[in-house]
Chains A and B, each alone.
Chain A
């Protein structure tokens, strides 16, 4: 990862969002990932989503662990504070950051190695605590920086570039997050930006831990015949089960009601998510239904995508802890120190 400033290209008539920023203002430094890497598409989707939501960069914190995916926070929103932490520990840093300042908009970017192996515990506990963040797993089934070992999300029977067959069962972060009681669980594909951008917007606006597993092919180590995380495989087995559309509070609904059923989920700030389901029998607000749907379709080798579970009413870490609405970082010291009188009174009981 080198540090290359991205040339800012002024496009005449470029649109400004509600906070007066151009889309390019949400970009970061130039990516040093391989040409065609799925992660770069996800970065572009993140840029698009944050720009469309008009979130001020200074209010955003972007965090990551270690790995190709974890390099990407440098490639978006250069006006946001970034934290490239240690391997598998992004969730802990994000949890602490949000414990201290609950007003920050947090996006954590992780990978399958980072979240499903070394950081599996932290991933699980961020979901369990319902930390108010967007948690993206850029999932390519392979360790890229160390040159092609299988990761925990590699499917059984899939082949490595050198022809070795993976005999271990895979861990599906979506099924895991749903089983753990996650409040928002989705899957996207780096090759389907039309689906992904709304998913990211819904995830950002969701109150709680929004896990989005994004299948993101590794062009160098895992895009060959026999891989189940390649562009070709993902496209041929693609099942967009529940597409989401984000609708801002004042916006009108102009959705296409062409197939399946629609469902409207209202978020805490009055915005809504319109869910369009391919299968009318599957309500993504029911945990058991989500698990059944996943099980049935994944076992056929399908890549099930979309918002697969959503619950807007689950308590956050701060709700459970009973923390004040004011960010703790904004409390003046005077409100934190009990003062000398209180100390004297307290010590009367220590005699």
Chain B
């Protein structure tokens, strides 16, 4: 299980990254997250939408109601320019954390 705090922290970069490959809607995002993480991350519906709305309020993503292929209205989300910039910064932050951890966990050698 991934801790609550980590889920909360990682939600933003994951959503932004998913939207990098094109617009998407809530239900699909939820499923993609599950698949990509190999089932480790399982977000609840109640959590996803507030986060999406928060990101939209912050200006990183925008939404639009569209008619789907099945003939139902869905709210699609897509990345804004600000969102793409934010993603770049997030990426740098996560990678630096990742690097640090990898160094610490390296099988041989000294950290210095």
Q: Do A and B come from one complex?
A: no
Give chain B's interface residues, CB within 8 Å of chain A. none
Give chain A's interface residues, CB within 8 Å of chain B. none
